[in-house]
Amino acid sequence: MTKTVLVVDDDPTQRRLIQAVLERDGFAVVQAESGDVAMSHLQAGKPADVVLLDLQMPGLSGHDALKEMRARALNQPVIVLTASGGVDTVVKAMQAGACDFFVKPASPERIIASVRNALSLGELKGEVDRLKKHSNGRTSFADLIGESPHMRIVKRMGERAARSSIPVLITGESGVGKEVIARAVHGSSDRSGKPFVAVNCGAIPENLVESILFGHEKGSFTGASDKHLGKFQEANGGTLFLDEVGELPLDIQVKLLRALQESEIDPVGAKRSIKVDVRIVSATNRDLSDAIREGRFREDLYYRLNVFPIEAPSLRERREDVPALVEAFIKRFNVEEGKRVVGAAPETMAFLTAFDWPGNVRQLENAVYRAIVLADAPYLQPHDFPAISGVKAPPMEDVVQPVAGQVPRAIPTAQQLLAEMPADSPVRILDGHGHLRTLEEIEKDLIQHAIDVYAGHMSEVARRLGIGRSTLYRKVREQGIDVDIKEVG
């Protein structure tokens, strides 16, 4: 998705110049003529991924606007703009929470680099916050990505379940994010911050299931050289997530049922039971009703686990969530891989949204990961997803080597180039003898022509040439271009 930059400056010319630079690089731009207007925009929740903030403005100054942003927990990266690069000014802005600054007028390269750095910093902070929540067991339903009708139902049901210790059974296809929902149930409950222990029941060897879940005493069987607590005791006070619970052997299902009914477990080799306080959240991608009819799953255990069912939708049922998921994955993998991908091109997002995703969110995540690793452009292109789009990456231009017996392509002569040039071209490419003029000579004529066309309005000249005013002034001085000093100001 296109990143939005909020440009806050009381000078309309500066705003237009910065907007032109940013839009040329693919950013969306929103303008605000004062700190008050900027605060209204941000507090209304309108888009702004980065804020370019002028420090000297009438009304609410840039310094005050920055302080108010941080006081209101508006954490967008802020780049401050100043007419003078005094050390005190910069230090105060950085202490107030700015991540970068530049002195006006700045070159397009400096503006773009600063914005990209700010976006990278914002992504890094977001990823750190996500990992902290994940490790501390504080993931909530606000962290779940998607606002489709199906996801709103999941969030609403999950938040209700989180208010109690009722057992929850999450159903859905493989890869839909059942563990993410389970973590949100835990993080939204009064057990938030306590242990969240996840167990994939289908990945445990059958002869070790009992020991891993319930623990064992030292010497209780061959190889039991130490005491092992088991997942129930690890999760004591918190939540135990049993993924693919339908894969548990029947004898373990009996012990699990007793643990749920009595809130106590019997470790292998233990002489007495141990009381545990664990909230059970289970998940399956199978129809447990079929497993009950086939005798592979206990009916009484099913009713114990399926007290509060939540169905996780497949990705094809919530296609409108694909853009938000793609953006979140781009942010995460930018941080992990040290890349600076801005987003996905519109045509790329269109086919990603239209695709059926049989592997659901997990498949989309892996596809974006691969695309980020291979991407060279600021925006992901269809050829970055060849297995899905069927579009191959364009071949790199090779140097054409002459082949024996083949006539090489003729290089156009200067006279041919001169014949193709318009007769009234204001900037001459060739000299009187038909040879190319030097780049410095052409540039000098181009700048002089632009100054004549725009009547010496240097801001407009710089904008049309795609360079900063400071760069334009430097070239005027270096090349000795005649400009009325009153028109330069």
Predicted pLDDT of residue 85? 58
Choose between 185 and 54: higher pLDDT: 185
Identify the weakest region by mean pLDDT among 55-69, 246-260, 381-395. 381-395
> Starting from the edge strand earliest in sequence, which strands make up the sheet with 78-82, in order?
28-32, 4-8, 50-54, 78-82, 100-103
**Cis peptide leading into residue 394 (ω within 30°):** no
Q: What is the pLDDT of residues 405-458, one digit of tens each?
A: 343 344 444 444 444 445 455 677 766 666 677 888 888 888 888 887 777 778
Residue (of 391, 376, 382, 387) closest to 337 by Cα position: 376
Please answer whether residues 228 and 215 qualify as being in contact, where contact means their C-beta atoms are separated by less than 8 angstroms. yes
Choose between 223 and 85: higher pLDDT: 223
Predicted pLDDT of residue 144? 93
Q: What is the pLDDT of residues 382-415, one digit of tens each?
A: 999 988 888 777 665 443 343 443 433 444 444 4
CA–CA gap between residue 67 and residue 340 (Å, rounded): 28
Token couple for 106: 């700045």
The answer, yes or no, to whether residue 123 has pLDDT greater than 60, is: yes
Confidence band, pLDDT 50/70/90 cuts, at residue 302: very high
Angle at the Cα of 294 (from 291 to 300), degrees rounded to 5?
60
Predicted pLDDT of residue 151? 96
Share of the chain above pLDDT 90, in %: 43
The answer, yes or no, to whether residue 146 has pLDDT greater than 70, is: yes
Mark 5-41 as b/e (b = at least 16 C-beta within 10 Å).
bbbbbbbeebbbbbbebbeeeebbbbbbbbbbbbbeb
Confidence band, pLDDT 50/70/90 cuts, at residue 323: very high
Identify the weakest region by mean pLDDT among 42-46, 90-94, 464-468. 90-94
Q: What is the pLDDT of residues 157-166, one digit of tens each?
A: 999 999 999 9
Chain mean pLDDT for the chain: 85
Q: What is the pLDDT of residues 183-238, one digit of tens each?
A: 999 999 999 989 999 999 999 998 899 999 999 888 777 777 788 889 999 999 99
Amino acid sitting at position 74: L
Average pLDDT over residues 111-133: 82
Token couple for 325: 């998921």
Predicted pLDDT of residue 245? 96
Predicted pLDDT of residue 379? 87
Amino acid sitting at position 231: K
Instruction: Say which residue the tokens 């993931």 belong to.
Output: 139
Domains of the chain (ranges, CATH numbers): 4-133 (3.40.50.2300), 141-313 (3.40.50.300), 317-389 (1.10.8.60), 414-488 (1.10.10.60)
Average pLDDT over residues 323-333: 93
